[in-house]
Amino acid sequence: MPMETSPAQPLRRPSLICYIFLVILTLIFMAAVGFLITWLETKPKKLRYTVENASVQNFNLTNDNHMSATFQFTIQSHNPNHRISVYYSSVEIFVKFKDQTLAFDTVEPFHQPRMNVKQIDETLIAENVAVSKSNGKDLRSQNSLGKIEFEVFVKARVRFKVGIWKSSHRTAKIKCSHVTVSLSQPNKSQNSSCDADI
């Protein structure tokens, strides 16, 4: 009895979806390689920030814990990178005491070139700000010692530029703790380094 042979199955051609998948995978791989090469070439360094020349003037704290004062200081932003510049699209600056906001201001957008130190001179005014009972007690205690210790907090939207490439926006959170100012000697203060999370 002759053996029956099954008809030959037609060869399956790769579908359009497979081609699209391969193209996308290739593009992702090329982008990753490009990013790695850029990173190796630029060797990015962390941005550094400090608060300098701080002073507190016209300090007043009422019996019902309402505080007024004028805070003056300079924020120094140091970009140590040889190939990366930074665009600050928006900048918000807060003066805080134990996480309670005392004063607030905004800064005009600016561009910081490579290997550059930018100084931002700020004057923030707290006018009749209600503080908590515990913070009022601590402020009185510090005032009796002739000094005030506060915190400067900066929130900014930034972009990085390498050559013609610009990154997407990122949120930078910069915390400058233990800014200590002498009330009896307004021009005497300790510089404070900052922690930056970008």
> In angstroms, how far is the first alpha carbon of the chain from the final one?
80
- Cα(135)–Cα(15) distance, rounded to whole angstroms? 69
Predicted confidence at residue 41, as pLDDT, reads: 55
Q: Tens digits of per-residue pLDDT, 82-101?
A: 999 999 999 999 999 998 99
Q: Tens digits of per-residue pLDDT, 145-197?
A: 999 999 999 999 999 999 888 999 999 999 999 999 998 876 667 789 999 99
Domain count within the chain: 2
Contact 98, 148 (CB under 8 A): no
**In a shared domain, residues 76 and 105:** yes
- Cα(109)–Cα(88) distance, rounded to whole angstroms? 5
**In a shared domain, residues 85 and 160:** yes
Kindly state whether residue 65 falls inside one of the protein's structural domains: yes
Contact 52, 191 (CB under 8 A): yes
* Phi and psi, residue 2, nearest 5°: -65, 140
Q: Tens digits of per-residue pLDDT, 11-59?
A: 555 677 888 888 888 888 888 766 666 654 556 889 999 999 999 999 9
